[in-house]
Structure 1
Amino acid sequence: MSREGGGSALFSGFRALGLYSSHLPHVLRYHARHREFYLLTAAGRSFHTYNVKKLGIVAVSNALLQDITCLAADRMLVFASYGNLLHAFARNKEVVHIYEGHKGEIHLLQPFGDHVISVDINNVLIVWDIQSEEEYLQLNFDKAVFAVSAIMHPSTYLNKILLGSEQGSLQLWNVKSNKLLYSFPGWGSGVTTLEQAPAVDVVAIGLVSGHIIVHNIKFDETLMKFQQDWGPITAISFRTDGHPVMAAGSPIGHIALWDLEENKLISQMRNAHSTAVAGMSFVQGEPLLVTNGADNAIKIWIFDGPGGGGRLLRCRMGHSAPPTKIRYHGQNGQQILSAGQDGTLQSFSTVHERFNKSLGHGSINKKKSKKKGLQYDTLALPPITTFATEIARQNDWDGIIACHQGYITCTTWNYQKTSMGAHKLKPKAFSKNKPLNIYATAVDITTCGNFAVIGLSTGHIDVYNMQSGIHRGHYGEEKAHEGAVRGVAVDGLNQLTITAGSEGLIKFWKFKTMDFIYSANLSSSPSAMLLHRDSGILGIASDDFGISILDIETRRIVRKFSGHHSQINDMAFSPDGRWLITASMDCTIKTWDLPSGCLIDCFLLDSAAISISMSPTGDFLASSHVDDLGIYLWSNRSLYSLVSLRPLPADYEPSVIMRPGTCPAQDVDITGDEETSDEMIVYSSPEQLEKQLVTLSSLSESRWKNLLSLDIIRKKNKPKEPPKVPKSAPFFIPTVPGLVPRYAAAKQENEQQSKVVNLGILAQKSDFYIQLEEAMSSNEYKSPLSILKEMGPSGIETELRGLAPEGGGSLDVMKSFLRLIGTMLNSKCDFELAQAYLALFLKLHLKIISSEPVLLEEIAKVSIQLEETWIHLQTLFNQSLCVLNYMKSALL
């Protein structure tokens, strides 16, 4: 049976972390009602909205089908395009308009009043009516003569747009009358950007040559000219807070600041971004500059110091190069540590972006590096390839240890201080001479956080103290393995150290004495190793794309899996150790069930996962991918929905699943085929599992537990004195006759008699009474029992009291009630109700029952049933208590 084209039954895409900015320039908007500026940046298939005041994320748009290639906004709507489709978003969230008509990919956008202008790579310009989604005007330009590269609406120029070209010339068009008003010959270099100056008629023109031309388009007159030496101009912005300053961005991340009054360079902001400055905007009327770049960073600079330069005020940044290794940090599943090819170690929060933090860039000498700056830092360490983390003593000393690419020294990092740690761990044997092609390959930290175990490409394995950085010993006489160390792991109790070598051996060592214990041969050279400490299960990935599961207690391989068709990049265990999740270069992520030894889930991605990590709480699987800056979360569906964990067939072919966007995704039901949906039936528990077992009712205790205590409850609730009516004072106060005048004492009224009348035979028969009479002949007691179940304690007592002859009942009805109790005891259902009803019945009518032979005969039968049921129950209780005592004694 095959699930053709099925997605993952176990994981569904949730959202992406660590994505802030792409190569597209940001958009700055002012919200008149909020009186606040908002910043929009494209991040993959969605765009983010931040407030400039705190740079906090406000909204994430719904995802488009492909990555956004162009972004713009007006006062009401946000325009985003991919391919030849243009979309308009309302409320920073949902698409409200789609504009179709371009044949080529859109690369320029310009909102224009009630219209929006788009230009595609085929040099076709279309003016769209925003509300009707219809074309208002279409212009075609000859690509060889005028290839449109920049577009702008000059301030106060009604219905006019200014176009720049790759050839260097500019054209001013009236889009209402469809007329070319004026052509500017240009300055012999292609136009990259156009920016309106604070002065009317003045436009800044950025060129490929690195020149900036400040030009008056009304008189076609150049006012001033600047040149930067860092390549083409990527962005231009003007200060509007009273300082005549213009800022220009470059492809290498530098920003130049020019004084427009003195026509000179006043400051340089070098390495503002590690890639090209994509967008740059001065906030209106404030000394704030907002920049973003393809290095996945948004930065706000404030100009409040001497010299005219800006200092960094706020920033949001992720990795500027793809992550190489990700691991959950801590036990709450809220932080993910990520090492990137950019050389940084960062922590991303799964709860909120404000908890993100960067631990910085690795460096040999941190003080010297800060002086020289990142761009010219010759002491910077290469990217981290693998790391281990432990929280046990992270408040006291460093809790993270990392290996660097092609580097023999391992570094420690401090999560609490968010910085590189105090120690650089390197074997003494290699400290004198600089070794060639010797580097650290594997690391692990003990559960207690005191020791680090480091394996080298030469086969050496050393132990260091994390607090002091002191070398504590090594495994093996000279070295532990003949080949490179591919993995090291220490068990949860610091008893065993397990190591894997490229020669195909798994070795067991005593952790404290470092004595060799045992070695196991593998059929193929191991490429990676992962230990689940709680269960003692070791996962080993091999170079032949197979996976072996080894039990470290018995030291035997207990499972073998095969199915990947390329190198296995990473592995992750579920928190309970039942699943092993593997990611491979064949772009699949597979989940193996260890108890059954079967593949239970597999899904295919458009990009191979480089590293994966399972949350300690089991709610998310995190993954990082080839050539991608984000970290993607996949929610574990088995925690909140019914998931079939049947083994997948050998011919199962997964379909490609899109990676989630930055907005939390809705869970999609993938059980589409009829065969699967028939089998996935929701289980409903029957009323009684087995006839041998005694079943209780589902009624609350208040319905039956207080039936014998109703008299006490009434006494407690009875008022101490009946309410008295205030007596009216007499007109003349009576006096006693005699010589001395005395007032007469008030007469006491007789106590009120009870108004309750015993109707006896005249009482009307209730539904319960009628059902009991009918049950005498039919012997079906379901309906009278259901009536009793719906009543409260007072109603039940009234009904049972009325069964006696003095209450209007009869001996036959009382006999019928006892048969009802017998039926309940026989069926072993509603056991506690039968006990409560029978106890109340006996309390009310014990005198009548003892004097009537018919009732005595029936009560004897019920007594025998009761005794049998209690003996059966007592046996079950004794068995359970015996087993429980045995288990407790075994544990002790």
Structure 2
Amino acid sequence: MAEVKGARGSVIFTGYRSLGVYSDHIPHVVRYHKKHKEFYLVTSVGKSFLTYNVNKLGQVAVSNALPEAITCLAADRMLVFAAHGNLLKAFARNKEVVHTYRGLEAEIHLVQPFGDHVISVDTSNVLMIWDIQSEEEYLELKFEKTSFTISALMHPSTYINKILLGSQQGTLQLWNIKSNKLLFTFKGWESGVTVLQQAPAVDVVAIGLTCGKIYIHNIKFDETLMTFQQDWGPITSLSFRTDGHPILAAGSPLGHIGLWDLEGKKLMSQMREAHSSAIAGLTFVHDEPLLISNAADNAIRVWIFDGPGGQGRLLRFRMGHSAPPAFIRHHGPDGKQILSAGQDGTMQSFSTIHDRYSKSLGRGSIDKVKAKKKGQRSVSLRLPPVTVFASEIARQSDWDGIIACHQHSLSCTTWDYVKSTMGNHKLKPPDLLNKSPDLHATAVEITSCGNFTLVGLSNGSVDVYNIQSGIHRGCYGKEKAHDGPIRGVAVDGLNQITITTGSDKLVKFWKFKSKELIHTASLNVQPTTFLLHRESGMLGVALDDFTLNVFDIETRRLVRKFLGHSGKINDLTFSPDGRWLLTASMDCTVKVWDLPSGCLIDCFLLDSAVVSLTMSPTGDFLATAHVDDLGIYLWSNKSLFSLISLRPLPANFEPTMVMLPGACNDIEEVDTVVEVESTNEDIMEYESPEQLGEQMVTLSLLPESRWKNLLNLEIIKQRNKPKEPPKVPKSAPFFIPTLPGLVPRFASLAEDEAAQSKVVKLGVLEQKSIFFVQLEEAISHQNYSIPLKTLKEMGPSSVDMEVRNLAAENGGSVEVMQSFLKMIGSMLETKKDFEMAQAYLALFLKLHLKFISTESVLLDEISTLLPSLEETWVHLQTLFNQSLCVLSYMKSALL
């Protein structure tokens, strides 16, 4: 059988945006917007770049993604230039590609805007200049790699049409690009040039070398003004302070920043561990004591120099994981915060609303006091990365609300979310007789009340602790709960039942308080992990053979079994209502299983495997973390804002690739939109039929005032008769008069004059109404839907008048009265507008009963209506009686 391929990616989820990604190894760019009078920061994040305002570090724009990762960034007053591969693209409004520059054959690694032109250098040592607007090639220069390999590029201030090039060989060249001439060659210092930076003074340039030296050089006279030596390796970035203080900042590969005093020609201060990886870019904001730094550790930091000694103080920052996150979970019932444990050893909280609500809970340490004194350099005091954690907000304002176990560590740490720090307790069993060196915690759980936490160990023990005091409160089983490592621990929402599973292929149910074993369920294969949905009592268990078992903890029975993954199941999560079970596997797929029907309803393929996923408690977002990816990606639930058709997918369904949010280029986005629009035709919309069944009756859904008071209309008119004659209101000249009736209509001038005329026109008295004419026409073609529609649009007084006018003394006839009764018969036959038919028939009999008794034609017509009426009423009365009996029984049972 041929494999069934998906026509589109995911039916339920669509990419929304990424969280926790702020910077990579590409140096940032700072721009000044004259209209806004504000500085903006541009950083690269893989295939796209982000724009922040420097004042608050608030994200203001995300660019459209490029097909490949960005290799370098540059910007002028209007455009942002980003290179990928051998192409250079110009972005307008920080988002849209407006120009593409082609011609280079190798990867671009240097870009420099130059007035109306832009300069780029590729790895094959070719320099090319384009006209920005026309995209035409202006100049191409080829250099020999053996003698001059370009490694740095800048435009000296006030040097018209001239650029300065630095090389890996250490020499520098000054070129006039208009005349295409080499003006001067600087012999250099026998060390590769890494950075060229213009000083505030004219003719002066700062030159950073691979040997760690910094030369302040006058290029006009080829004279070195001063020299600095950095002991942390090559110079990665340079920036001059321009607010009146002669200071030069230099970055290093170790993440340190050195501040050099240009007047005293000495090192003024050091900013150690400014970043945990090599400094990618440094920029002093013009005329402000602010230094912006970014690095490959996924962090942007703004430092302010407002204290004595010239030492920088961290003013604001945006920081994510410097290593991929390994475990994520939503924190709190509102779904606005996502807790993340990264392989860098830190715990982070990312906000789905705004970055300013995100925060870092820090890094786990063996001794908090010593680690705080030593700062980030206390590597020996760091705990291993967190592998799994559990959180609860019930008592987080009183004591710690997060419990986490670390990689190959016996101690489990508590964390305080409110204070954003590691807690006071490290939980481990108090008496371990035969402590194995490789004994470690494997699973944790915190109760819904926030008072107790459970820790499962690799030897099969499950221990209970009071999270407020950290006191050990016992363990499950006589010696241990399982005969192998614990793979999962869970407690129901009422603290009645504890569920554990281990590598011994058993799922055990315990009484939470007495720790007594209630039930044991066997598995065919060792479990990988499991998850309990407390609200519905569904327990999802992932097995090593890539299958899923779902247990009901109330009946303690296996209720569902799912097959379909072809790789290890990394994580699973439930939808808030418990109807869907979502699983992520090493086969790079995310699958959605419908528990009531037991079917696979959605499946999509990603280019990297999902290591952890979590569904928002409000059901609006799915969050995923991926292999070797620093970000957390949000997928919006389309079923909340659009109509989707969920159909069971076949067993051989082959999903199509779905790009991560923010990883689609313009062409792919357009194709996706077209594809979704074309698939909307497949969505099955349910349309309710006009009549649900042959034995059912359908009401008209018109207001009761249209038909309920038809029999008592004379009494109502007599009661509502005005005591005084009506007064003519003062006419407003700017209002158009309207005609009385249910449907508002404007009166024409001719109608208004006719209404004011007191001359009686006999033609008007002889004119037949529209309803009367339609009844006459219905006699011939037997279609009573048209007069019925007209009658339903009338008010009670109009209906009364029309029924009265059916009599011969009012201008009617027996044939028209018979047609009216046939219309009632058609309504009873179709069983539509049931209450209207009863009201119209009752009014007709009330007004014309004496006349009907004298006409045999009308009597025969009424005799044909009687069986239909009796049959319908008997059936309805039976249904009413049954409903009343059931209600009486339910009331008596409740009492």
TM superposition score normalised by structure 2:
0.90
In structure 1, the residue matched to 2:622 is: 621
Tell whether the 8 Å contact from 2:17 to 2:661 is kept in structure 1 after alignment.
yes
Q: CA deviation at 1:458?
A: 1.7
Instruction: Give, as a single letter, the amino acid of the residue that structure 2 aligns with 1:544.
Output: D
Q: Which moved more, 1:377-386 or 1:619-628?
A: 377-386
Q: CA deviation at 1:720?
A: 4.5
Partner Cα separation in structure 2 for residue 169 and residue 781 of structure 1:
99
Distance change (3 Å), C-alpha of 1:777 and 1:648: closer
Report the 3-state secondary structure (helix = DSSP H, G, I; strand = E; otherwise coil) of the residue aligned with 1:658. Answer: coil
Q: Are residues 1:436 and 2:437 paired?
A: yes
Residue deviations 1:521-564, cap 9 Å, x none? Answer: 32222221212222322222223333322333333333333333
In structure 1, the residue matched to 2:366 is: 364
Tell whether the 8 Å contact from 1:4 to 1:654 is kept in structure 2 after alignment.
yes
In structure 2, the residue matched to 1:145 is: 147
In structure 2, the residue matched to 1:734 is: none
Report the 3-state secondary structure (helix = DSSP H, G, I; strand = E; otherwise coil) of the residue aligned with 1:163. Answer: strand
Q: Are residues 1:766 and 2:766 paired?
A: no
Tell whether the 8 Å contact from 2:12 to 2:637 is kept in structure 1 after alignment.
yes
In structure 2, the residue matched to 1:564 is: 565
Report the 3-state secondary structure (helix = DSSP H, G, I; strand = E; otherwise coil) of the residue aligned with 2:26. Answer: coil
Instruction: Give, as a single letter, the amino acid of the residue that structure 2 aligns with 1:788.
Output: L
Q: CA deviation at 1:323?
A: 0.5
Q: CA deviation at 1:631?
A: 0.5
Instruction: Give, as a single letter, the amino acid of the residue that structure 1 aligns with 2:541.
Output: I
Partner Cα separation in structure 1 for residue 893 and residue 535 of structure 2:
21
Residue deviations 1:656-687, cap 9 Å, x none? Answer: 32211189997976996999887544333222
Partner Cα separation in structure 2 for residue 682 and residue 671 of structure 1:
20
In structure 1, the residue matched to 2:734 is: none
Q: Are residues 1:656 and 2:663 paired?
A: no
Q: CA deviation at 1:386?
A: 0.2
Distance change (3 Å), C-alpha of 1:724 and 1:135: closer
In structure 2, the residue matched to 1:122 is: 124
Q: CA deviation at 1:428?
A: 0.6
Q: CA deviation at 1:72?
A: 1.3
The one of 828, 833, 849 aligned to 1:825: 828
In structure 1, the residue matched to 2:748 is: none
In structure 2, the residue matched to 1:70 is: 72
Instruction: Give, as a single letter, the amino acid of the residue that structure 1 aligns with 2:786.
Output: S
Q: Are residues 1:241 and 2:274 paired?
A: no
Q: Are residues 1:412 and 2:414 paired?
A: yes
The one of 322, 331, 339 aligned to 1:329: 331
Matching of residues 455-854 of structure 1 within 5 Å: 455-661=456-662, 680-697=683-700, 699=702, 720-723=724-727, 762-791=765-794, 796=799, 799-805=802-808, 807-838=810-841, 841=844
In structure 2, the residue matched to 1:194 is: 196
Instruction: Give, as a single letter, the amino acid of the residue that structure 1 aligns with 2:348.
Output: Q
Report the 3-state secondary structure (helix = DSSP H, G, I; strand = E; otherwise coil) of the residue aligned with 2:373. Answer: helix
Partner Cα separation in structure 1 for residue 500 and residue 402 of structure 2:
20
Q: CA deviation at 1:229?
A: 1.0
Q: Are residues 1:51 and 2:36 paired?
A: no
Q: CA deviation at 1:691?
A: 2.3
Distance change (3 Å), C-alpha of 1:824 and 1:108: same
Distance change (3 Å), C-alpha of 1:310 and 1:868: same
Tell whether the 8 Å contact from 1:762 to 1:808 is kept in structure 2 after alignment.
no
Residue deviations 1:334-391, cap 9 Å, x none? Answer: 2211111122211112222222222222223323222211122532222110001122
In structure 2, the residue matched to 1:131 is: 133
Partner Cα separation in structure 1 for residue 710 and residue 236 of structure 2:
85
In structure 1, the residue matched to 2:62 is: 60
In structure 2, the residue matched to 1:290 is: 292
Distance change (3 Å), C-alpha of 1:480 and 1:814: same
Tell whether the 8 Å contact from 2:11 to 2:602 is kept in structure 1 after alignment.
yes
Report the 3-state secondary structure (helix = DSSP H, G, I; strand = E; otherwise coil) of the residue aligned with 2:310. Answer: coil
The one of 268, 271, 286 aligned to 1:269: 271
In structure 1, the residue matched to 2:218 is: 216
Tell whether the 8 Å contact from 1:9 to 1:670 is kept in structure 2 after alignment.
no
Instruction: Give, as a single letter, the amino acid of the residue that structure 1 aligns with 2:879.
Output: L
Distance change (3 Å), C-alpha of 1:853 and 1:505: same
The one of 175, 179, 182 aligned to 2:181: 179
Report the 3-state secondary structure (helix = DSSP H, G, I; strand = E; otherwise coil) of the residue aligned with 2:163. Answer: strand
In structure 2, the residue matched to 1:257 is: 259
Distance change (3 Å), C-alpha of 1:823 and 1:439: same
Partner Cα separation in structure 2 for residue 675 and residue 40 of structure 1:
37
Matching of residues 304-323 of structure 1 within 5 Å: 304-323=306-325
Q: Which moved more, 1:396-405 or 1:757-766?
A: 757-766
Report the 3-state secondary structure (helix = DSSP H, G, I; strand = E; otherwise coil) of the residue aligned with 1:690. Answer: coil
The one of 157, 160, 177 aligned to 1:158: 160
Residue deviations 1:846-885, cap 9 Å, x none? Answer: 7766787765665565566445433322332343454566
Tell whether the 8 Å contact from 2:564 to 2:651 is kept in structure 1 after alignment.
no
Q: Across the two proteins, how many residue pairs are aligned to each other?
A: 866
Partner Cα separation in structure 2 for residue 708 and residue 222 of structure 1:
110
The runs of 5 or more residues in structure 2 that have no matched partner are: 731-755
Q: CA deviation at 1:512?
A: 0.8
The one of 864, 880, 884 aligned to 1:877: 880
Q: Percent identity?
A: 68
In structure 1, the residue matched to 2:105 is: 103
Q: CA deviation at 1:624?
A: 0.4
Distance change (3 Å), C-alpha of 1:108 and 1:889: farther
Q: CA deviation at 1:797?
A: 5.0
Report the 3-state secondary structure (helix = DSSP H, G, I; strand = E; otherwise coil) of the residue aligned with 1:142. Answer: coil
Q: Which moved more, 1:414-423 or 1:261-270?
A: 414-423
Distance change (3 Å), C-alpha of 1:557 and 1:671: farther
RMSD, aligned α-carbons = 3.2
Q: CA deviation at 1:698?
A: 5.2
In structure 2, the residue matched to 1:11 is: 13
Partner Cα separation in structure 1 for residue 271 and residue 723 of structure 2:
86
Partner Cα separation in structure 2 for residue 70 and residue 461 of structure 1:
52
Residue deviations 1:832-859, cap 9 Å, x none? Answer: 3334544555676677667877656655
Tell whether the 8 Å contact from 1:19 to 1:662 is kept in structure 2 after alignment.
no
Partner Cα separation in structure 2 for residue 81 and residue 715 of structure 1:
85
Residue deviations 1:239-278, cap 9 Å, x none? Answer: 1111111111111111111111111111111111111111
Partner Cα separation in structure 1 for residue 43 and residue 305 of structure 2:
23
